[in-house]
């Protein structure tokens, strides 16, 4: 009898243990009822959405069949679709067919052959690469971040300052401010655009660079300034170079549109190459997102123009020390595409034709927008739009006008009045022009 009781008790104990084990196994961390008393997570505030990507998300969720996205800076073809450059497609097909291609890690500094080709593309085929320290980067954003960290660490701080100041044009690409702040620099602004004339504020630019502490870093857009599309003339670039040298400033070029701006990659590099010839120790952030259409491949370079192979070696060592704990090594697919295109004469020729095709369509949309605005009754002077260059038209519209365009016509754009011309085509340009006329009629587009 006792044996039977013990047997039943043991069996009940085993069943109870099994039941508890099953319940524990099925319980996920998110269903636990207990809460740590010292959790920090409930005190984290909601961060603001990205100014541009947030608008893109709003566009996606909009159900208006007439909606138009002229916000995000990515090329679209005449039917409003993303366009993979034919030269890029062919290069990718070759890579996929090449059984020797592998997926091994790239070195910290990236694919050296790709970097050399990229630097030749920017500085010119005759550039002395023995004096240029170059690393592969995560597109232009990553290049700016590496460059900012490098300058923050090694540029001497002007007297009385705790951080290295970097002067950024006003306005500029919005991410510049956050990038250089995160890199530990003192972000300051210099005048660039005159809203009263809708053109370059050259006098303000010169005055502000003169007033900057000697030895400051000056960020310049190499071509197709984002968001204004206003670039200095070559004579003005020369004066800017002279002023920067006289103040012992340091030059940081951001080049995101070479080849895309005018359709001529050599012409688009004129300012950069002039500064290089003048002896500036340029820091260059270079992106292949726009001009190769490699938006999602995150392909770029960061380079420093030094005075000797010995300086180059030292700078390279420090750039690697910055990269290693940041992301270790770059992705290889996009750089392999660029390398394949630029090492094949036929593909290179086709690529330059692709660039010209994109630039030509953008230029046509720029001119047609102004033409149709006049046709629908606008009496404003829109000549500043046709004088600009690159992907964007900086219209002069106020934030209130932009809000009205979005709320009444489902036209999505940034609040500074910037329109991505790549989002326009023959099917929507009249709709956009009529909407722009409706919100600007009788109101000023200068301030």
10-48 pLDDT per residue, tens: 455 545 555 555 554 555 555 556 666 678 998 999 998
Question: According to the 3-state scheme, what is the secondary structure of 259-307?
Answer: CCCCCCHHHHCHHHHHHHHCCCCCEEEEECCCCCCCHHHCEEEEEEECC
Known catalytic residue at 173: yes
Rounded CA gap, 235 and 65, in Å?
Answer: 47
Q: What is the pLDDT of residue 2?
A: 42
Does residue 254 have an active-site annotation? yes
pLDDT, tens digit, 9 for 90 and up, residues 105-136: 999 999 999 999 999 999 999 999 999 999 99
Q: What pLDDT is recorded for position 1? A: 46
Q: What is the DSSP pairing of strand 193-194 with strand 199-200?
A: antiparallel
Check residue 53 and give its pLDDT.
80
Active-site residue, selected from the candidate residues 83, 90, 111, 173:
173
User: What integer pLDDT is reported at residue 110 of this predicted model?
Assistant: 98
pTM, to two decimals: 0.90
- Rg, the chain, Cα only: 27
DSSP code of 70?
Answer: -
Q: Which helix (H) or strand (E) holds 68?
A: strand 68-69
* Phi, then psi, of 183 in degrees rounded to 5: -80, 0
Closest CA to 378 of 444, 425, 428, 423: 444
Tell me what pLDDT residue 68 has: 97
Q: Which of 90, 290, 339, 368 is catalytic?
A: 290
Number of Cβ within a 10 Å radius of residue 324: 11
Q: How far apart are CA 322 and CA 147, in angstroms?
A: 10
With a cut of 70, list the residues of the chain below it in pLDDT: 1-37
Q: What is the pLDDT of residue 6?
A: 44
- H/E stretch holding 166: strand 165-170
Identify the sign of the CA torsion 106, 112, 115, 121. negative
Q: 385 near 70, Cβ under 8 Å?
A: no
Beta strands at 165-170 and 186-191: parallel, antiparallel or unpaired: parallel
The residue annotated as part of the active site, out of 254, 268, 382, 416, is 254
- C-alpha distances in Å from residue 279, one per residue of 122, 219, 305, 321, 383: 16, 17, 9, 26, 36
């Amino acid at each position: 009898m006792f044996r039977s009781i013990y047997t039943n008790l043991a069996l009940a104990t085993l069943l109870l243990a099994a039941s508890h084990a099953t319940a524990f196994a099925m319980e996920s961390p998110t269903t636990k009822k207990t809460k740590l008393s010292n959790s920090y997570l409930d005190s984290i505030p909601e961060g603001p959405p990205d100014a541009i990507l947030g608008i893109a998300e709003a566009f996606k969720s909009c159900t208006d069949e007439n909606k138009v996205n002229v916000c995000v800076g990515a090329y679209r073809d005449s039917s409003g679709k993303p366009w993979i450059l034919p030269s890029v497609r062919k290069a990718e097909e070759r890579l996929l067919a090449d059984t020797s291609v592998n997926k091994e890690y790239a070195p910290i500094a990236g694919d050296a052959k790709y970097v050399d080709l990229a630097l030749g593309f920017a500085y010119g085929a005759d550039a002395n690469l023995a004096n240029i320290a170059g690393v592969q980067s995560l597109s232009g954003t990553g290049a700016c971040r590496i460059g900012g960290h490098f300058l923050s660490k090694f540029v001497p701080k002007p007297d009385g300052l705790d951080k290295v100041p970097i002067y950024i044009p006003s306005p500029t690409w919005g991410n510049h401010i956050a990038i250089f702040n995160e890199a530990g620099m003192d972000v300051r602004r210099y005048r660039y655009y005159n809203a009263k004339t809708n053109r370059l504020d050259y006098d303000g630019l010169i005055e502000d660079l003169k007033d900057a502490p000697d030895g400051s870093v000056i960020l310049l857009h190499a071509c197709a300034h984002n968001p204004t599309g206003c670039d200095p003339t070559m004579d003005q670039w020369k004066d800017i170079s002279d002023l920067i040298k006289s103040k012992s400033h340091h030059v940081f070029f951001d080049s995101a549109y070479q080849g895309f701006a005018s359709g001529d990659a050599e012409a688009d590099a004129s300012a950069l190459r002039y500064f290089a010839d003048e002896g500036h120790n340029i820091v260059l952030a270079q992106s292949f997102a726009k001009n190769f259409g490699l938006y999602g491949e995150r392909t770029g370079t960061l380079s420093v123009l030094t005075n000797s192979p010995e300086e180059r070696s030292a700078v390279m060592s420090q750039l690697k020390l910055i990269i290693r704990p940041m992301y270790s090594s770059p992705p290889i697919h996009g750089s392999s595409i660029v390398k394949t295109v630029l090492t094949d004469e036929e593909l290179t020729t086709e690529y330059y034709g692709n660039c010209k095709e994109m630039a030509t369509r953008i230029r046509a949309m720029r001119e047609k927008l102004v033409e149709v605005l006049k046709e629908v009754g606008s009496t404003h002077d829109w000549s500043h739009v046709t004088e600009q260059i690159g992907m964007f038209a900086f219209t002069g519209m106020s934030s209130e006008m932009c809000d009205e365009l979005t709320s009444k016509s489902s036209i999505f754009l940034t609040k500074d009045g910037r329109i991505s011309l790549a989002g326009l085509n023959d099917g929507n340009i009249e709709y956009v022009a009529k909407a722009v006329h409706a919100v600007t009629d009788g109101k000023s587009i200068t301030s």
